[in-house]
Structures are given as structure tokens and as C-alpha cells.
């Protein structure tokens, strides 16, 4: 029989226990059911979120809880407090939608476009955003510098694999089940019907080196606030080079793993 002690011991070994202790008994019973079944990743359960308009869901023993902790416990995205009242937020690398949910609740007038390439993440993303109706648009694609076909490359070696989806140009012989369409930010903006993006969130697992290498001049000055996770020094340099080539000036800050760049004219 699986007991709380079994859950505590296993979760401490992977650093998850502080999060589980915060989330309470629903999380415990979810993990207990997972450990008793073999049908993961189909099983998901509701997370406690009393300050949100609608429930959110999590997959048992996945990286989802780590993402939940970053957004709703550590509140890394409170870094956008000073930018006024956003109307359009684009969430690139939306994962299962927790950042989009955070923004939809923080900014009740905003519309969110959430872009996610990986099929399993995308299914839960749709579930988590469905209650927000036409305020939330979900796109099953990868953000890139151009519209093309990409192949999903995911590291399946560890518990945190769901937040580590990477993409690369498709090649002959790639499994068709792993192919996904690419979309560029200029197209996302033009199809939204808005003149500008108030918050552009990017957590795209290294694709920022492609996004900011080419084909960005038509949209980069139409973004009021960038919130981006830069995955190494080369990608950081690529991002800052692109901003320096634009016609805008920026105020920079950090929030956990995030780099924030706010156009000076957009600062409140």
C-alpha cells in the first residue's frame, strides 16, 4: 500500500516535497493514484488555485508542478507590474498554460495568444485555457523566424522533460509524428488584429537564437515588454543585438530566470 511516507520520501529525493506540502491533499492523492497505475500521462488532476477565476490542471509526476511553483508560488511574472494595462499578450512556449492563466487573471482586459508545439502539453494547455473563451487563443505550433516545418526534439531522460521541448528544422527521415508547423511573431501579431504586443513572453528552449537572428525588424518595435528566458550566453547576445538594432530604447531587469526588457515609452 502506498502511504504518505512513501510519497514524502520519493518527493524529497527529487526536491519536490516543499511544493507538494504547499499544494496539500489533492496533490498527494494524485501522486498516489499515479503510482498505482500505469496509464501516465493520461492521468491529470486539479490544482488548488483559490485566487484564479477557473480551475487549472496538472499531470501527475511531471514537470508541471515545477512550472506551477515558478509562476504561482515564486510569482516570477510579477515582473510585468509596471507596464500599464495590456491588451495583447503572446505566450511563446506556453507549455500547459500556467503563465497564460496567470496573465489572464492579472490583466482581465487582456487577450492571450498561447503557442505550444508539443502535443501532450498542448492538450492540457487547451484544457486550462478553455474556460476563458475568446480571451484565449491556443496555437499548436513552434515559434521560429519563418513559417516552415520543424521536428520536436525532447529529452526523455528525466522527470522535468515536459518543459524541455526543443525544435529543429525538419530533415528527411524524421518521424512525421514529431513534426510541427512553425510560426513567426510577425504573423501572430498580424493575425491577432492588434497593432502591437504589450507583453511578449518567450520560453522557447533555445529557439530565441533563431527568432532574433533574422526576420524580426517588422515586429520588434511593436513589442512593449519582452519577458524572456535566455538559455545561454550566445542566445543572450543574439537577443541584445536584436534589441540594439531596433529603433527603441529599453529598461532592463531580472526576475528569477527571466530577463525583462521594457520599451522606455511603455514604462508606467
Given this model, what pLDDT does residue 39 score?
42
Res. 83 pLDDT band, cuts 50 70 90: confident
Q: What is the pLDDT of residues 180-226, one digit of tens each?
A: 999 999 999 999 999 999 999 999 988 999 999 999 999 999 999 99
Nearest-10 crossing angle of helices 119-129, 98-106:
20
In this model, does residue 9 exceed pLDDT 70?
no
Res. 22 pLDDT band, cuts 50 70 90: low
* Number of other residues whose CB lies within 10 A of the CB of residue 88: 22
Asked which of 26-35, 51-60, 107-116, 241-250 is least confident by mean pLDDT, the reply is 26-35
Average pLDDT of the residues in 238-257:
95
Given this model, what pLDDT does residue 36 score?
46
- Of these ranges, 34-43, 174-183, 254-263, the one predicted with the greatest mean pLDDT is 254-263
What is the share, in percent, of the chain residues with pLDDT greater than 90? 62
Q: CA 206, 66, 152 angle in degrees (round to 5)?
A: 35
Res. 162 pLDDT band, cuts 50 70 90: low
Given this model, what pLDDT does residue 263 score?
94
Say which residue, 173 or 202, is predicted with more confidence: 202
> What Rg, from alpha-carbon coordinates, does the chain have?
19
Give the chain's mean pLDDT. 84
User: What is the 3 state secondary structure string of 4-61?
Assistant: HHHHHHHHHHCCCHHHHHHHCHHHHHHHHHHHHCCCCCCCEEEECCCCCCCCEEEECC
Res. 54 pLDDT band, cuts 50 70 90: very high
Evaluate if pTM is beyond 0.85. no
Q: Which domains does the chain have, with CATH numbers?
A: 1-61 (no CATH), 75-266 (3.40.50.150)
Given this model, what pLDDT does residue 29 score?
52
- d(C-alpha 267, C-alpha 134), whole Å: 28
Given this model, what pLDDT does residue 178 score?
81
Average pLDDT of the residues in 67-96:
94
Amino acid at each position: 500500500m502506498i502511504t504518505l511516507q512513501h510519497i514524502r520520501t520519493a518527493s524529497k529525493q527529487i526536491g519536490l516535497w516543499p511544493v507538494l506540502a504547499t499544494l496539500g491533499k489533492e496533490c498527494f492523492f494524485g501522486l498516489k493514484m499515479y503510482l498505482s497505475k500505469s496509464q501516465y500521462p493520461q492521468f491529470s488532476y486539479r490544482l488548488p488555485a483559490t485566487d484564479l477565476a477557473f480551475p487549472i490542471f496538472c499531470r501527475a509526476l511531471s514537470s508541471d508542478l515545477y512550472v506551477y511553483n515558478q509562476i504561482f508560488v515564486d510569482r516570477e511574472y510579477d515582473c510585468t507590474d509596471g507596464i500599464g494595462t495590456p491588451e495583447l499578450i503572446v505566450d511563446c512556449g506556453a507549455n500547459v498554460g500556467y503563465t497564460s492563466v496567470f496573465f489572464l487573471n492579472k490583466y482581465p482586459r487582456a487577450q492571450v495568444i498561447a503557442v505550444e508545439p508539443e502535443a501532450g502539453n498542448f492538450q492540457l494547455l487547451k484544457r486550462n485555457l478553455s474556460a476563458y473563451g475568446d480571451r484565449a487563443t491556443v496555437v499548436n505550433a513552434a515559434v521560429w523566424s519563418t513559417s516552415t516545418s520543424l521536428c520536436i526534439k525532447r529529452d526523455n531522460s528525466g522527470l522535468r522533460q515536459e518543459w524541455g521541448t526543443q525544435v529543429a528544422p525538419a530533415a528527411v527521415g524524421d518521424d512525421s509524428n514529431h513534426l510541427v508547423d512553425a510560426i513567426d511573431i510577425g504573423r501572430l501579431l498580424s493575425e491577432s488584429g492588434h497593432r502591437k504586443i504589450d507583453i511578449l513572453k518567450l520560453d522557447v528552449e533555445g529557439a530565441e537564437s533563431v527568432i532574433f537572428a533574422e526576420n524580426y525588424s517588422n515586429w520588434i518595435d511593436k513589442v512593449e515588454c519582452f519577458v524572456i528566458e535566455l538559455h545561454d550566453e550566445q542566445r543572450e547576445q543574439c537577443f541584445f543585438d536584436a534589441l540594439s538594432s531596433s529603433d527603441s530604447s529599453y529598461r532592463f531587469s531580472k526576475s528569477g530566470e527571466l530577463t525583462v526588457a521594457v520599451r522606455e515609452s511603455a514604462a508606467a
